[in-house]
Amino acid sequence: MKLKNPVLRGFHPDPSMIRVGETYYIASSTFEWWPGVRIHESKDMVNWRLLTCPLNEKRLLDMTGNPDSGGIWAPDLSYYEGKFYLVYTDVKVTDGSYKDCVNYLTTAVDIMGPWSDPVVLNTAGFDASLFHDDDGRKYLVNQYWDPRSFHHPFYGILCTEYSEQEQRLIGEPRVIYRGTIDRFTEGPHLYKINGYYYLFVAQGGTVYAHQERVARAESLDGIFETQPGEPFLTTLDAPFHSIQKAGHGSLVQTAAGEWYFAHLMGRPLHHDTESVAEVRGWCPLGRETGIQKVIWDDDGWPHIVGGHKGMEEVEAPQDVQECIWEPDCPEKDDFDDEKLNHHFQTLRVPLDEHTLSLKDCPGHLRLYGRQSLASAFLQAHVARRWQSFTFDAQTKVAYRPVTIQQAAGLTCYYNTKNWSCIQVTWNETYGRVIDVVATDLGKTFSVYKDTPVPVPVDAEYVFLKVEVRGIHYQYFYSFDGKTWNGTNYIFDSAGLSDEYIKAVYDAAFTGAFVGMVNVDGLGTAIPADFDYFIYKELNAKVDGKYI
């Protein structure tokens, strides 16, 4: 049995993987998407399913007004003596000399909760994780942020003892590792193996120069020595490899004693070009999760099986039976359940019954109009991840706008400054119309301008669709669900990628989403009723490339 990378497709970065009994868990970052943190489970490390999103109450997480790519960075999941520990960072400032990130700890006896009220640990940096030593003492390690303009902001890895009894950090904080010349030392995870303390850290930044390094010491008070030679994991020297951006991960041991490393990775799309810069390409699916097998040499250092680039196909653990889960997200969601499927998320905050309802119009997802897609506060916007380079997404909406301030439709979204939407809205000349609107690096434009598509007066529903085909995507509309008309603009998928947005903005760490939105600037909150949502992956290839 083999596992194929990525094991978690689409935006699932910064994996924290643990094993409890026969079950493996991976916690991953969600940034500004609510609820916070996604936890997947597996019995065989091959087949995974989304289990829970634990930060699902405002007492645990309030991201109101958080900037793009703020919010939950690199959660850490651990288990010790019958209790789960979840450490997470809520980043309130992303640009400039300050991060203003708050590190919290919450615990639960059951992975499904309830989770305890969070304990504030520190605000000294991000990517915090909790280490449980053999003697029961606990230590927080986190990236240590340096706001001084004349220093590199990634100062090193800070280690501070945590008192569970007092529910606070105690003792003297100490920088235990500064990293190598590649800098950007972050994402620390600490383990004690065969008498050594091993520190796994990410370096190089979460771009194509990303890497994972390993250091070790005989005690936490000792000097951490970097593993000699090449990085533990990187694809910096392999621009044509199927896995890119490899780094930032966590180590786990199977019941039979095998070792594996879960890490973030990217799968770039590229335009037709021969340049290495373009071949590295664009990753609209965001940073995903891969897993590599690990072996140890005679000197006690770990190595990725197959070399430091990692492999797309990896031997699965030998001590498990294959476990295939039942699908938990239908291809077509008719919105007949009382709760929204957990693969859908909202931005920054939960949407209460005054904004989102599955009861007010039975068999529909009703969204009451709220703020625009540029808002960092309250959007009536429900979306799910792009998880394939080739898919169709479709919805059917009943909506009657009466002013230019009202619009509802189908979105492809990266952040408040990079998104597109095919929407039903209103026009002074034509009345109810279809338009396509997009924001590219903060600049908004309308595809149809003064000549939008009129909606027939007797049309109760409008059908909207997007076809994603690799590096391009296009919107379509229909008034009967049978005859489809393509809109006269083809979008570049690169515009929904970290790489594209980082050319202007420092903080770009998520991935593309597709979903439904309702905007009402007048405060009248008129409803848009979405009858269904279809997400159908095609996985089409031509000459070995996604189309």
Residues 275 and 417 in one domain: no
Residue finishing a domain among 257, 286, 315? 315
Residues pairing with 36 in the sheet = 55
- Number of domains the chain contains: 2
Question: What gap in Å lies between CA 23 and CA 302, rounded to an integer?
Answer: 23
Question: What gap in Å lies between CA 131 and CA 140, rounded to an integer?
Answer: 6
Task: Enter the tokens of residue 31.
Answer: 């940034």
Closest-CA residue to 528 (of 386, 425, 418, 452): 425
Question: What gap in Å lies between CA 269 and CA 133, rounded to an integer?
Answer: 43
| Cβ–Cβ < 8 Å for 380, 369 | yes
Residue 276 — φ and ψ, nearest 5°? Answer: -60, -40
Task: Enter the tokens of residue 98.
Answer: 């300050």
Residues 271 and 159 in one domain: yes
Q: What 3-state DSSP class applies to 279? A: helix
Residue 152 is part of a domain; what is its CATH number? 2.115.10.20
Q: Which residue has the tokens 């945590």?
A: 162
Task: Enter the tokens of residue 218.
Answer: 């005989």
List the Cα angle 497/238/6 in 5-degree steps: 55
Query: The sheet that has 168-177: what strands, in order across it?
Result: 129-132, 138-145, 154-163, 168-177
Residue 7 half-sphere exposure toward CB, CA atoms < 13 A: 33
Query: Which secondary-structure segment (H or E) carries 498?
Result: helix 498-501
The per-residue pLDDT for 275 is 47
Residue 76 lies inside a defined structural domain of this protein: yes
| Cβ–Cβ < 8 Å for 414, 514 | no
Write out the catalytic residue numbers: 14, 186
Residues 256 and 337 in one domain: no
The per-residue pLDDT for 383 is 98
DSSP code for 366: E
From first to last of its 547 residues, the chain has per-residue pLDDT tens of 999 999 999 999 999 999 999 999 999 999 999 999 999 999 999 999 999 999 999 999 999 999 999 999 999 999 999 999 999 999 999 988 888 999 999 999 999 999 999 999 999 999 999 999 999 999 999 999 999 989 999 999 999 999 999 999 998 999 999 999 999 999 999 999 999 999 999 999 999 999 999 999 999 999 999 999 999 999 999 998 999 999 999 999 999 999 999 999 999 997 655 444 455 889 999 999 999 999 999 999 999 999 999 999 999 999 899 999 999 999 999 999 999 999 999 999 999 999 999 999 999 999 999 999 999 999 999 999 999 999 999 999 999 999 999 999 999 999 999 999 999 999 999 999 999 999 999 999 999 988 999 999 999 999 999 999 999 999 999 999 999 999 999 999 999 999 999 988 888 999 999 999 999 999 999 999 999 999 999 976 544 555 4
Residue 320 lies inside a defined structural domain of this protein: no
Residue 85 lies inside a defined structural domain of this protein: yes
CA 395, 396, 398, 403 torsion-angle sign: positive
Residue finishing a domain among 257, 283, 315? 315
The model's pTM: 0.96
Q: Domain of residue 146: give its range.
A: 2-315
Task: Enter the tokens of residue 33.
Answer: 């998407």
Residues 303 and 357 in one domain: no
Residues 228 and 139 in one domain: yes
Buried b (16+ CB within 10 A) or exposed e, 148-174: eeeeebbbbbbbbbbebeeeebeeeee
Q: What 3-state DSSP class applies to 356? A: strand
Residues 253 and 383 in one domain: no
Question: What gap in Å lies between CA 385 and CA 55, rounded to an integer?
Answer: 18
Residues 177 and 142 in one domain: yes
> How far from chain centre, in Å, is Cα 52?
14
Residue 324 lies inside a defined structural domain of this protein: no
Report the amino acid identity of residue 480. D
The per-residue pLDDT for 543 is 47
DSSP code for 189: E
Residue 323 lies inside a defined structural domain of this protein: no
Task: Enter the tokens of residue 414.
Answer: 């990266």
A 10 A CB-CB count for 490 gives 12
Residues 288 and 226 in one domain: yes
E strands, 399-526, are 406-415, 418-427, 431-440, 443-446, 453-454, 462-469, 472-478, 485-492, 513-520
452 cis-preceded (ω within 30 degrees of 0): no
DSSP code for 493: G
Total count of residues recorded for the chain: 547
Residue 370 contacts by C-beta under 8 Å, 6 or more apart in sequence?
355, 378, 379, 380, 518, 519, 520, 525
Buried b (16+ CB within 10 A) or exposed e, 220-236: beeebebbeeebbbbbb
CA 173, 177, 181, 183 torsion-angle sign: negative
Residue 343 lies inside a defined structural domain of this protein: yes
Residue 322 lies inside a defined structural domain of this protein: no
DSSP code for 224: P
Question: What gap in Å lies between CA 174 and CA 176, rounded to an integer?
Answer: 6
Closest-CA residue to 199 (of 244, 142, 258): 142
Residue 393 — φ and ψ, nearest 5°? Answer: -125, 140
Question: What is each CA distance from 8 to 65, 128, 390, 407, 431, in whole angstroms?
Answer: 28, 22, 17, 33, 44
Residue 57 contacts by C-beta under 8 Å, 6 or more apart in sequence?
none
Residue 415 is part of a domain; what is its CATH number? 2.60.120.200
Residues 283 and 336 in one domain: no
Residues 390 and 308 in one domain: no
Residues 340 and 305 in one domain: no
Closest-CA residue to 516 (of 348, 354, 347): 347
Residue-by-residue DSSP string for 72-114: EEEEEEEEETTEEEEEEEEES--SSS---EEEEEEEESSTT-P
Residues 257 and 337 in one domain: no
Residue finishing a domain among 315, 350, 382? 315
Residue 347 lies inside a defined structural domain of this protein: yes
Closest-CA residue to 231 (of 265, 204, 264, 250): 204
Question: What gap in Å lies between CA 340 and CA 355, rounded to an integer?
Answer: 13
